[in-house]
A and B are shown apart, each in its own frame.
Chain A
Amino acid sequence: MSIAAVPPMPALPPTGRSVRAYFAPVDRVHALPTLFDPSVNGRFTASAPPAPWIGLGWIEDFARRSTSRFGQLVTGSPGTTQFQVRETVDATVSFRFKAWSKLSMALAADSQHMNLIVPAAGSVANGSGGKGVTPVNLAMGSTATFLALAASDAAGFSAGSLVTVDVDYAGQTGFVGSGVSAASVPSATAVNYDPDYIRRVSFNVARVTSVATTGATGLQLAQPLIAGVPGANMRVQPISGFVDREGGSFFQEWSALFLIDGEQGERILFHYPRLQSMAGPSESATALVPPLERIALSAAFRALPVTDTNDGEPVVCFRSFLPSPATLV
């Protein structure tokens, strides 16, 4: 006895509600993007992307644009196109982040994204924050979610505060920042030999949930540090928020993944291994009940190429489609 197989439905038009965005750091020093392999991870749980991808939630006004140019080889009289050539490969993508965070703000900005270090008493006023309070050293036993500090140092922080955790700037040039290349330093004089400079641009930030001044003393963090377990040479400073600027010479570069989940189980993925911001900081407002508005971060990126190792082709974006299990392909 056999059970007759139910013939699949014909291919159906995908229907999705919105787009989710995920980002992962690019190793700028070695020019290595984070590659997403849809044949391995294509069916990942939307709310729990595989490491090191970071989910930034729903985005809106998602728009992909191919700006590649094509040329024709015309021969004969009258002229007829015999061949086409791809003259340039170029693409842009734009959207709006609904939520503001360190990462979404930095992605939407086109240059260094800075942490507002709590200023030292009497520091000179500056648009991106003045000279910060003295950082404190880490003790042994820190993890990605716990900063071990001496009791006297821990007492200087409060639950709910924000911290930046990174190494001192010691005169190095090139990309700096733990976990993420947060800036590129052309010379020590450009950053005034400021030992706090790396902590000022670092993505290694978190909110403190509790402070322990007895027992295992230190700061419990609400979220894991992006650079993982902090190194012994890292130091901690309190911050009050973030600042970006119109201007600057640095370009953020991130790997990106955009996901549309279809209603029939199909899935569309857009993977840009290298995205650089191509617009200055801007916002747009959506009216709730006037004059109450929801403020979104506008973001626009240019896609940069990687080489597909399957055939050596330079490409800027991969579009994957995982069909619904109910349909023909």
Chain B
Amino acid sequence: MQNAKDTFYVALRSRLATLNPARTMMLRAVTRPGILVVEAEAPMAQPPLDAFTLNWTGFEADLQLPAILARLTCEIQYSTAGTQANAGLDRGRALEEMDYEMLKLLYPYSAQKMNYTQSPAAAMQTLVFWSEPSFGHAVVLRDRLSRTVQVTVFAFQEQGEA
């Protein structure tokens, strides 16, 4: 399943870098596209503002198919406090911008499954595909406006894949 998770993250990260190159974050002293996977970073008290945070939660598997069909739930959370220049009064607009980016990042709803544990990364046989996003309510916490989007990611387990 790790290849499916890696593929989904890298697909979204590549799309974000093209869609909005200005959405970056500084993490571990490196500036990179504003998207991260919680389980692949050091524990943090709060996810960074104005970035997409992927959290893998649910897992199911359909075993009665010629190849196991894994079903992984990914919760993508993003928060914004607006911009300093506007004293945060534009946080609603900033959240709307991230909503729109989320829609664009997820489409098309599939990507060639890749094995990123080797260099260069190798294309595998199948495609990883995912559901259309389910947007949660906007949540207000002091100056932060947040939203969580749920996406179900599907991948067929290939022969010899861990």
The chain A residues found within 8 Å of chain B, CB to CB, are 17-18, 57-58, 60, 98-99, 288-289, 291-292
> Looking at the complex, which one of A17, A18, A57, A288 makes contact with B154 (CB distance below 8 Å)?
A288
Interface centre among A17, A57, A292 (most CB of B within 10 A): A292
Contact with A along B60-72 (1 / 0, CB 8 A): 0000111000010
A289: B residues at CB distance < 8 A: 131-132, 152
B64: A residues at CB distance < 8 A: 17-18, 57-58, 60, 98
The 3 A-B pairs with the shortest beta carbon distances in the complex, nearest first, are A289-B131, A58-B64, A289-B152
> Looking at the complex, which one of B66, B129, B132 makes contact with A57 (CB distance below 8 Å)?
B66
- How far is A167 from B129 in the complex, measured between Cα atoms in Å? 40
The residue of chain B having its C-beta at the shortest distance from the C-beta of A289 within the complex is B131
- How far is A53 from B63 in the complex, measured between Cα atoms in Å? 22
CB-defined A-B contacts under 8 Å, sample of 17: A17-B64, A18-B64, A57-B64, A58-B64, A58-B65, A60-B64, A98-B66, A99-B66, A288-B71, A288-B131, A288-B152, A288-B154, A289-B131, A289-B132, A292-B129, A292-B132, A292-B152
The residue of chain B having its C-beta at the shortest distance from the C-beta of A20 within the complex is B64
Interface centre among B64, B65, B129 (most CB of A within 10 A): B64
> Looking at the complex, which one of B71, B132, B152 makes contact with A291 (CB distance below 8 Å)?
B132
A288: B residues at CB distance < 8 A: 71, 131, 152, 154
B126 to chain A, nearest CB (A): 13
A60: B residues at CB distance < 8 A: 64
Instruction: Say yes or no: B131 contacts A292, CB within 8 Å.
Output: yes
Instruction: Say yes or no: A98 contacts B152, CB within 8 Å.
Output: no
- How far is A291 from B129 in the complex, measured between Cα atoms in Å? 13
A58: B residues at CB distance < 8 A: 64-65
Interface centre among A60, A289, A291, A292 (most CB of B within 10 A): A289
